[in-house]
Amino acid sequence: MTIYTVRTTAGRELIVIDMINNRVRADNLRVKSISHPGELKGYVFIEGPEGDVRKSVQGVMHIKGFIEKPVTLPEIQQFFETKNVKITVSEGDIVEIVGGPFKGEKGRVQRIDKVKDEVTVELLEASIPIPVTISVELLKLIKRDKPAPEEQAKPTQREQEEKKERAYNPFEDEPSEPKD
């Protein structure tokens, strides 16, 4: 089957999907799937024969256009894959914004909202400090304020044993030296 793209009003993609789905069921059209990746605003992908896809979108509210050229799954697969890689930032870290209206700007992390996966960044190169709330996905870490707890070096077993050997002995004037 072929995948076609439909342009919609941004933020109305789910309404469009629902209306197309109702039309497909009512007219018994051969549409296999209708999907909308959350990060791609204003677009809906429909899989099926071109004639049936055109009939399914004809006259539906919030549809701005039908893109004639079909897309292949590898071209849009990136929008449907879950991203497990999460950037971990801490307050005080220096970051670069890699997307959105402040792309290319550097800033210092002021606040972190883990629930929404957003951070508030104060732009460094602005003449007046401007706090901007932005998604963590649009940030690139430049410099850590302090090493993250998981990045701090953990002592090896030998270092732990040496530390125990150097423990203070109350019967000695000076701590004992490690034995080799």
How is the chain split into domains, by residue range? 3-80, 94-148
Quick check: helix, strand or coil at residue 124?
coil
**CATH top-level class for 3-80?**
alpha beta
Predicted confidence (pLDDT) per residue in 28-78, tens digit: 999 999 999 888 899 999 999 999 999 999 999 999 999 999 999 888 888
Per-residue pLDDT, 56: 95
Query: What pLDDT, on the 0 to 100 scale, is given for residue 65?
Result: 93
Query: Which class in CATH covers the domain with range 94-148?
Result: mainly beta
Confirm if 35 and 80 have CB atoms less than 8 A apart: yes
Contact 57, 21 (CB under 8 A): no
For residue 90, what are its two tokens?
């801490």
Give the C-alpha separation, 87 to 41, whole Å.
Answer: 23
Residue labelled with tokens 């701005």? 64
pLDDT number for residue 4: 95
Residues of the chain with pLDDT under 70: 82-87, 146-180
- Tell me how far apart the alpha carbons of residues 74 and 77 are, in angstroms, rounded to a whole number: 5
Task: Report pLDDT for 151.
Answer: 47
Element (H, E) at 77: helix 73-80
Distance CA(55)–CA(105), nearest Å, equals 46
